[in-house]
Structure 1
Amino acid sequence: MLKSYLKTAWRFLLKNKTFSFINIIGLATGTLCCLYILLYVQDQYNYDKQHKGVENTYRVTTDLELTGDKHHSGASSPPITPAMRNDFAEVKQFTRVVTTEKFGAKQHLLRYKEKSFYEKDALFVDSTFFDVFSYHFVSGSATSALTEPYSIVLFKPVADKLFGSENAVGKMISIDNSFGKHDYKVMGVVDESLGKSHIHGNMYIAMNSGGFGESVRRNDAWAGNNFLYAYIKLRPDASAAALEKKLPEFLNKYAAQQLKAIGMKKVLHLQPVNSIHTTPGFENELSKTLDPKFLFLLILIAVMIQVIACINFMNLSTARASKRAKEVGVRKVIGAGKGDLIKQFLGESFLLAFIGVAIALPLLILLMPYLNQVTRADIQLDFFSNYKIWIMLLSLVAVTGLVAGSYPAFYLSAFEAIKVIKGNFTSQVSATGIRKSLVVFQFVLSIVLVTGIIVIYSQLNYIKNKDLGFDKNQKLIFNFYTEASQKKMAAFTNDLKELSEVKAVNNADNYLGQFVPHDHGVFLAGGNMAAAVDAQNINTDEHFVKANGVSLISGRDFRLNDTNRVLINETLAKRLGLDVQKAPGTRLYSQYDGKPATFVEVAGVMKNFNYNSLHSEVRPFMMVYQNDPGYFNCMLVSVGSSNYKTLLDKISAVWRKDFPEVPFEYTFLDTEVQKQYETEIMLSQIINSFTMVAIVISCLGLFGLAAFSAEQRSKEIGIRKVLGASVTGIVQLLSTDFLKLVIIAFVIATPLAWWGMSKWLQDFEYRVTISWWMFALAGILAVIVALFTVSFQAIKAALMNPVKSLKAE
């Protein structure tokens, strides 16, 4: 029986090539997109699932409040987790992670024999790191990997570059960065074959390696210094919720005095490690996180595309009901029951879904590099070890076949045998209304997606062109990663100033558009740290204002040797209760660890500028003058030439003179600022790509329906032409019904799109206003696409010789 159903289905597909082509291409394209999105979402939710005992592993996060400023941080203070290990029997082990990038060591010069190159993503970790987290050791052992001082574990690609096919374990390498130059012993090489983690490093350096790592180990700041990532592993029988309830008393025991001294409120929480990658909203994250709302949106897009493809099948199947009505009648007369017919038609649907998957798989393999580029992912198709891929494929065939084939199966099987044999093709189930509703539904989805593209593009364009309060254009950024290169920054600065194209050079410990790791509380004379305002800050020389194009409201710019002077922004002045015009000359005080208060003097007040992303409002901020080159590790060069090739050739020559052993690397400030919106740019590219797919599939279905409608009305068209109807009139006649459906879809889609995009824009403190023209443009595009699709068939039908269609009459 099954063989008979398959044979009949195959013959029908071969006989109706246009019908089959439209459905197979639509289902294959939809399946390709749907499968990739499912694989991408699975990949994002699989982060940190591989760690042994991960269900009992937690990160200690911190909620801070200082004079009204609230911070929800993924980091915490150094002494917290060691004390938890000592005080709570529930805590089996702890470990801490510190990224060097946020403290100036963004790149590290690695040397082994004659080989040398720069690498980033270095982490200082406790010796217990591999007790808490599971990584696959290609060589070496997790047990003793980081117990010795100056020991290091390398990520496999880095080890391969250094040692090639040699065994890396036991080898000594040199690492030179802004913390100094040291030799390290390689104790292991790891890869990510067990799974991806939010803790990704190219180098895992033992914390007990002197210098910066040792300062972390000795740090006893319970209130401030919330800069490291702390993790605990609980015993299997322990309750994280019960332990979290004990943390306020624990914190009060150790931190009460320090918190009171600086006027800070602090609350500790435990966050499951396997939820970190998909839990946004934390400040000071170790790695990029993804919002589950974004992943849900991707799944929604995948479902929408697949549903649009299924709707094509339903519409074309029911539209061609008259072609199969006599077949149904004959089958019923010779004894086929309704159930048999339902099985037959569902079998055809499953066969189409299977063919669609069979075509989608090789296309997915071929297009995987492009799709990974769009989503900034690294999805790999592993059919042998990843059984979930097979579950996804079988589920897609089953769900698609059932959804696409259910209505046509019940519709066709409902024909009464006697009536259809006599030529009456009516069914108890109304098809025309359902078909129109499904076409409307298709275009509702397409118009919502097109509106999303328009709003997202408008927001990204707004971000790109908004006046941030500083000049990000024609600015070159140079980073200095080693102590030796930092010492030569002054000489390089002087050489650059000799170039006519260079307008200004600014040395600092950070540049605008980047995460600012430094902050401290400041208060006015007569106050204390309990009333302090927390201000983020950057250390800089006297050229910051000129080089960055920042405006001063009052006071003056920095001068050479302007010791203990600061420039503050409007927000900080207002939070301190200062009149921005009278603020210059005011002393700002800070006090820590019971030491006498220190002060700086306000030289000037800067007009507010968005030194961080437009997702958040401008916070209190100040520039701190430094004349010690040891504070600086980056340089901003403001240039007056757009002929970058010639200019960079000149700068490269100066660089080779001053830094003969250091590779010439640079970036542009506007590029770095734009990187703050990578998620939005990626979302835009994803929606652009998949919306095009959805529109193409919708048009395929509309094309098929238009062709069928023209075929059904061929005699009517012939009579109208004989009676004098023009081609334009006939095209209008055939197009009007479909355009009405698109207009109805536009009316339904508009409020849905407005609601969805309003929600998305809420994540931005600074955003565009949703305007009527965005919806109008989406509607006009939908009408144009639909008109073009339908008109092709309408014009073809209108140009046919009426003799051919009327000769049977």
Structure 2
Amino acid sequence: MIRNYLKIAWRNLRKHSFYSFLNIFGLSLGLASCLLITLYVVDELSYDQPYENVDRIYRINADLKFGGPEMRLAVAPDPMAFTLKKDYPQVEAVARLRENGSYLVRRNEQAENLKEDQVVFADSTFFSVFSIPLVEGNPATALTEPNTLVLSERDAAKYFGAESPLGKTLLLDNELTYRVTGVMENLPANSHLSDLNMLLSMASREESRENSWGSHNFVTYLRLREGTDALQFEKNFDTLLEKYTAPWVKSIMGATMEDLEKSGNYLRYSLIPVRDIHLYSDRLAEISVNGNIQYVYIFSVVALFLLLIACVNFMNLATARSANRAREVGVRKALGSERSSLVAQFLTESLLLGYISLGLALLIAFVAMPFFNDLSGKQMHVPVENGIFWGALLLTGGVVGLLAGSYPAFFLSGFKAIRVLKGTLATEGKGGYLRNTLVVFQFVISVMLIIGTMIIYRQLNYIQTKTLGYDKEQVLLIDNAYALGTQTEAFRQEMLKKPGVENATVSGFMPTPSSRTDNPFYPEGQSIQEKSVGMQSWRVDYEYVNTLGIKLLKGRAFSREFPSDSSAILINEEAARLLGYQDPIGKRIATLINPDASSQRVYTIIGVIKNFHYESLRKNIGALNLVLGKSSGMLALRLTSREAQGTVERAGQLWKQMAPGQPFEYRFMNDDFDATYRAEARVGSIFITFALLSILIGCLGLFGLAAYTAERRTKEIGVRKVLGASVGNIVTMLSLDFLKLVGVAILVASPIAWYGMDAWLSNFAYRIDIQWWMFVLAGALAAGIALLTVSFQSIKAALMNPVKSLRSE
């Protein structure tokens, strides 16, 4: 019986090859898109799962407000980890990481330096919290001694080749010698720690032993004992604050924790599960760039929509062609076929079509995977080696085939034999209403995706073109300026002599997002408790303001003509507002030299700079000040547009002369800015791609329906032409029915799309307004695409010779 069903199903597919192609191709596109997005979602959800006891590992977060805006930090004070371990038996193990930016690393004096971007200091207990195997070395002792380090397998091969690195040394920043005491397995890509290739012993860092409860610089992890409720454990932070932080607040501010809360300031700690960090955490001082659970939800919905559109196509075409198969059903029923056997026959056809589509979808996914990886910024593959994958795939193909074919099967098998054979079957009615509903559903999804794509694109364009308060164009950033040593200023002066260089500044602080923390500043003569403002404080040189095109609103910039500028300060508009100064020039403000010292440093305000965006546009501009100081992380060159490439080459040549053996690394500031919004740009690209796919799939179905409608109304068209109807009249008549459905879809989709995109835009402090014309344009695009799709069949039918369509009458 099954063999007979399959044979008949195959014959029907071959007999109606045009409609079979539309069904198979549309369904395969939907399945392939769903497969790719599912792999993306699974990858995002799998972060930090491989570690043992990961369900008991947490990171400590800090939320503090101290004069300025609230700061949400992924770091905690240095003594917190081991204090928790000492005071609370629920804590089984603790470890800290301290980011230190990049290092220049080489094996010996003769080798060339290589830049390592993600170097962190780690406690000796790190491997007891995270179950990362060591290929060489003892995890219990690898990081116990000062000036020791653990390499990843990747870095071990890079610096030592095939030989064992244990006991050998590396030179960091041309002066620090570290001994290799371990080699760890490369961290998995689906971990928030994946970029860590080099761990330095925390014992090498004096700061880790300062016992400062006011300085938040350490990423702090703890593993709770089995059975411990994390939410209940969080309540212990109140006790911790009272016991350890309150004395610090009292000694520095002369106030109690209650006084701090009354003044609108606060300090709070909480726990976040490690496996939630990638999708649910976007704080200052994150170890890596994390994902966003919103995008996981969005892509999951898009995948479901695409699959539904493809299934809707199948149902639409199957029910639309019901009249063509009605006589077959009538004959079968007259010869004694049961309805159940007819249902089985039609479901077999849909299953066969579903599995053919699944095979083609798999092929499409293989071909598209490299492009999708570029689009999503991942390195995924189709897991053909995984048995669960094949089981899920086969199950999906079966379920999709049954779901897509269920309604047509029951619809077709329900025809009355006597009515069919008499030729009195009405083919519209219920089936026609369903088809119209499904067409509306398809275009609701397509219009929503078009609107979403348009709004995302406009928001990204707004970000790119918004006035930032500084000029990011034609600014060349040269990294590792400290590698020049004492020749940094000489290099800057030489570059100023080169053609195409307008100005140059040396500073580690650039107006692109970075992990920086605030310090409290307060008017001289007042206590830190009375009036303090949390500000970022950047150390810059005399040329900084002019080189970056930062606008000065009041006063003056730093000048070599004023030796007193060593204690001068520039503040931005927001800092002046928070300090309550109408005219800040000449006012003196102070800050603590370090969080636990009673001494302070006093600055005189000499200028007010216009607010500029130094953080992502997701955040409001905070208080900021500039002070003169040495910070040789980067050299920024303001270039003329015509000489950009030549200047890069000349800078590279000069670098080789003045810093031989040191890596010459550069980038342009606008590229740094673009990288800040790479996630949104990827979302926009993915949205555009799948919006186009949804429209394509929907158009395949619409094309088939238009062909069927034209075929069914052939004689009507012939009569109308004989009676004088023009080609335009016929095309309008055939197209109008579909355009009405698209119009309904636009009305339904618009409020849903507005709600969803308004929620997405709420993540940005600076955002576009959603305008009415966006919905009109999206609707016009959808209507235009639908009209183009059906017009081919409409025009073809309208141009047909009426003699051919009427000669059978």
Shorter-chain TM-score tier = over 0.9
**Counterpart Cα distance in 2 of 1:556 and 1:585:** 11
Instruction: Verify: 1:176 aligned to 2:172, yes or no.
Output: yes
- Segments of 5+ residues of structure 1 without an aligned counterpart are none
**Counterpart Cα distance in 2 of 1:484 and 1:645:** 23
Amino acid of the residue matched to residue 117 of structure 2? K
Amino acid of the residue matched to residue 489 of structure 1? T
**Counterpart Cα distance in 2 of 1:242 and 1:456:** 41
- Aligned partners of 2:61 and 2:269 also within 8 Å: yes
Match of 1:509 in 2: 508
Give aligned-pair identity as a percent: 36
Q: Counterparts of 1:16-27 in structure 2 under 5 Å?
A: 16-27=16-27
Distance 1:37 1:765, change over 3 A: same
Instruction: Verify: 1:200 aligned to 2:199, yes or no.
Output: no
Distance 1:186 1:593, change over 3 A: closer
Q: Counterparts of 1:254-265 in structure 2 under 5 Å?
A: 254-260=244-250, 261-262=252-253, 265=266
**Counterpart Cα distance in 1 of 2:179 and 2:512:** 34
Q: Counterparts of 1:484-563 in structure 2 under 5 Å?
A: 484-530=483-529, 531-560=531-560, 561=563, 562-563=565-566
- Aligned partners of 2:473 and 2:670 also within 8 Å: yes
How far did 1:371 drift?
Answer: 0.1
Match of 1:671 in 2: 671
Distance 1:510 1:332, change over 3 A: same
How far did 1:426 drift?
Answer: 3.2
- Aligned partners of 1:168 and 1:189 also within 8 Å: no
Match of residue 627, structure 2, among 624, 627, 633: 624
For residues 539-560 of structure 1, the C-alpha deviation after alignment (integer angstroms, 9 at most, x for no partner) is 1001111011111111110112
- Aligned partners of 1:478 and 1:666 also within 8 Å: yes
SS at match of 1:425: coil
Match of 2:576 in 1: 573
Q: Counterparts of 1:103-182 in structure 2 under 5 Å?
A: 106-111=102-107, 114=111, 116-164=113-161, 166-170=162-166, 172-177=168-173, 180-182=175-177
Match of 1:597 in 2: 600
How far did 1:728 drift?
Answer: 2.2
Amino acid of the residue matched to residue 618 of structure 1? I
- Aligned partners of 1:316 and 1:705 also within 8 Å: yes
Distance 1:484 1:437, change over 3 A: closer
Distance 1:421 1:139, change over 3 A: farther
- Aligned partners of 2:499 and 2:647 also within 8 Å: no
How far did 1:114 drift?
Answer: 4.8
Amino acid of the residue matched to residue 454 of structure 1? M
- Aligned partners of 2:354 and 2:401 also within 8 Å: yes
**Counterpart Cα distance in 2 of 1:419 and 1:746:** 39
For residues 525-552 of structure 1, the C-alpha deviation after alignment (integer angstroms, 9 at most, x for no partner) is 2321223111012110011110111111
Distance 1:643 1:805, change over 3 A: farther
Match of 1:230 in 2: 220
Q: Counterparts of 1:449-468 in structure 2 under 5 Å?
A: 449-468=449-468
Distance 1:139 1:24, change over 3 A: farther
- Aligned partners of 1:585 and 1:603 also within 8 Å: yes
Q: Counterparts of 1:280-295 in structure 2 under 5 Å?
A: 280-295=281-296
Match of residue 244, structure 1, among 217, 234, 249: 234
SS at match of 2:64: strand
Amino acid of the residue matched to residue 338 of structure 2? G
The worse-fitting range, judged by mean Cα deviation, of 342-351 and 692-701 is: 342-351
TM-score by length of structure 2 reads 0.94
Distance 1:358 1:173, change over 3 A: farther
How far did 1:447 drift?
Answer: 0.9
**Counterpart Cα distance in 2 of 1:400 and 1:228:** 50
Amino acid of the residue matched to residue 163 of structure 1? F
Distance 1:428 1:474, change over 3 A: closer
How far did 1:391 drift?
Answer: 4.5
- Aligned partners of 1:138 and 1:189 also within 8 Å: yes
How far did 1:184 drift?
Answer: 2.5
Distance 1:198 1:645, change over 3 A: same
- Aligned partners of 1:510 and 1:516 also within 8 Å: no
Q: Counterparts of 1:28-39 in structure 2 under 5 Å?
A: 28-39=28-39
How far did 1:604 drift?
Answer: 0.5
For residues 618-677 of structure 1, the C-alpha deviation after alignment (integer angstroms, 9 at most, x for no partner) is 111111111xx4x32111111223332222222222222222222332111111112111
Match of 1:304 in 2: 305
**Counterpart Cα distance in 2 of 1:291 and 1:554:** 41
Amino acid of the residue matched to residue 371 of structure 1? F
- Aligned partners of 2:330 and 2:421 also within 8 Å: yes
The worse-fitting range, judged by mean Cα deviation, of 78-87 and 747-756 is: 747-756
Q: Counterparts of 1:294-693 in structure 2 under 5 Å?
A: 294-384=295-385, 386-426=386-426, 430-480=430-480, 483-530=482-529, 531-560=531-560, 561=563, 562-579=565-582, 582-591=583-592, 592-626=595-629, 629=630, 631-693=631-693
For residues 419-450 of structure 1, the C-alpha deviation after alignment (integer angstroms, 9 at most, x for no partner) is 11222333797010110111111111111111
**Counterpart Cα distance in 2 of 1:107 and 1:387:** 43
Amino acid of the residue matched to residue 569 of structure 1? N
- Aligned partners of 2:317 and 2:701 also within 8 Å: yes
**Counterpart Cα distance in 1 of 2:614 and 2:274:** 31
Amino acid of the residue matched to residue 606 of structure 1? I
SS at match of 2:430: coil
How far did 1:221 drift?
Answer: 1.2
How far did 1:34 drift?
Answer: 0.4
**Counterpart Cα distance in 2 of 1:139 and 1:32:** 43
**Counterpart Cα distance in 2 of 1:547 and 1:119:** 28
**Counterpart Cα distance in 1 of 2:339 and 2:427:** 13
The worse-fitting range, judged by mean Cα deviation, of 198-207 and 252-261 is: 198-207
Distance 1:751 1:486, change over 3 A: farther
How far did 1:137 drift?
Answer: 4.0
- Aligned partners of 1:518 and 1:538 also within 8 Å: no
- Aligned partners of 2:147 and 2:200 also within 8 Å: yes
- Segments of 5+ residues of structure 2 without an aligned counterpart are 254-259
How far did 1:409 drift?
Answer: 1.5
How far did 1:202 drift?
Answer: 4.0
SS at match of 2:445: helix
Amino acid of the residue matched to residue 627 of structure 2? V
How far did 1:456 drift?
Answer: 1.0
CA RMSD of aligned residues (A): 2.0
**Counterpart Cα distance in 1 of 2:652 and 2:483:** 18
**Counterpart Cα distance in 2 of 1:72 and 1:746:** 41
SS at match of 2:61: strand
How far did 1:196 drift?
Answer: 2.3
**Counterpart Cα distance in 1 of 2:614 and 2:294:** 27
For residues 662-694 of structure 1, the C-alpha deviation after alignment (integer angstroms, 9 at most, x for no partner) is 233211111111211112101100101111110
**Counterpart Cα distance in 2 of 1:14 and 1:708:** 17
**Counterpart Cα distance in 1 of 2:536 and 2:395:** 51
Distance 1:287 1:484, change over 3 A: closer
Distance 1:145 1:367, change over 3 A: farther
**Counterpart Cα distance in 1 of 2:777 and 2:753:** 13
Match of residue 215, structure 1, among 181, 206, 209: 206
The worse-fitting range, judged by mean Cα deviation, of 674-683 and 653-662 is: 653-662
Match of 1:49 in 2: 49
The worse-fitting range, judged by mean Cα deviation, of 781-790 and 399-408 is: 399-408
Distance 1:705 1:259, change over 3 A: same
Match of 2:276 in 1: 275
SS at match of 2:284: coil
**Counterpart Cα distance in 2 of 1:493 and 1:346:** 76
**Counterpart Cα distance in 1 of 2:707 and 2:3:** 32
How far did 1:796 drift?
Answer: 1.6
The worse-fitting range, judged by mean Cα deviation, of 195-204 and 298-307 is: 195-204
